[in-house]
């Protein structure tokens, strides 16, 4: 695995948050940005120029600021809320067997509701689920928590997943969302 390069900060004006650039040799083409505390982190390929990084920040900053504004007005849009739900679900349905190291909303998942990296204990939940009924969000979080125990979708995983009482109802809701998206195209 290639080593990470040192982090660098973009010189910012006082009207916008500080931006940290994290470059990686593993990242080849994509650029992503997210909030970490009070600053923004731009995840970029090692080869991305500083000028191009500035252009990405200028393009992504309005969306990130809007996401922050919405989160402040709706506590269910925060990463802290996801962590609280994950803790509750692990206690209620998985005998406290798991606790993610990190769980957060992401805006770069358009075909998955959530994803898990078992080796790091990281769970990412698609922003498309912001505003769904709590039982639906809870199902997706529960599903991803199950992946911290069993990475595949085998019989053991399905038994773990079935411990959440609203599985079928939540899957039906998500199927409806997929259908509605396909009708919009």
What does CATH list as the number for 75-184? 3.30.2010.10
Determine the pLDDT at residue 96: 93
The mean pLDDT of 40-63, rounded to a whole number, is 89
The predicted model gives 92-110 an average pLDDT of: 92
CA 110 to chain centre: 11
Residue 115 has what pLDDT? 97
In the chain, CATH 3.30.2010.10 sits at 75-184
pTM of the prediction? 0.66
Answer whether residue 2 shows pLDDT above 80: no
Q: Distance of CA 120 to CAs 22, 98, 99, 109, 147, Å?
A: 18, 13, 11, 18, 12
Q: Which residue has the higher pLDDT, 164 or 27?
A: 164
The predicted pLDDT at position 43 comes to 87
Decide if pLDDT at 12 tops 70: no
Say whether pLDDT at 92 is over 90.
yes
pLDDT beyond 60 at 4: no
pLDDT attached to residue 120: 95
**Band (180; pLDDT cuts 50, 70, 90):** confident
Contacts 24+ apart (CB under 8 A), 98-107: 98/145, 98/148, 98/149, 100/144, 100/145, 100/148, 103/79, 103/141, 103/144, 104/34, 104/79, 105/77, 105/78, 105/79, 105/130, 106/34, 107/63, 107/67
């Amino acid at each position: 695995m290639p080593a990470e390069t040192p982090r660098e900060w973009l010189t910012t004006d006082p009207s916008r948050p500080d931006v940290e650039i994290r470059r990686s040799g593993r990242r080849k083409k994509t650029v992503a940005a997210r909030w970490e505390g009070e600053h923004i982190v731009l995840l970029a390929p090692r080869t991305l120029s500083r000028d191009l990084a500035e252009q990405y920040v200028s393009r992504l900053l309005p969306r990130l600021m809007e996401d922050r504004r919405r989160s402040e007005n709706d506590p269910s849009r925060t990463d802290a809320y996801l962590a609280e739900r994950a803790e509750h679900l692990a206690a209620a349905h998985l005998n406290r067997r798991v606790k993610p190291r990190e769980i957060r909303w992401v805006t770069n998942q358009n075909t998955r509701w959530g994803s898990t990296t078992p080796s790091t204990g990281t769970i990412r939940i698609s922003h498309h689920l912001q505003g769904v009924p709590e039982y639906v969000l809870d199902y997706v979080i529960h599903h991803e928590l199950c992946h911290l125990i069993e990475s595949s979708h085998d019989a053991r995983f399905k038994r773990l997943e079935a411990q959440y009482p609203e599985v079928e109802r939540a899957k039906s809701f998500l199927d409806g969302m997929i259908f509605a998206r396909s009708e919009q195209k």
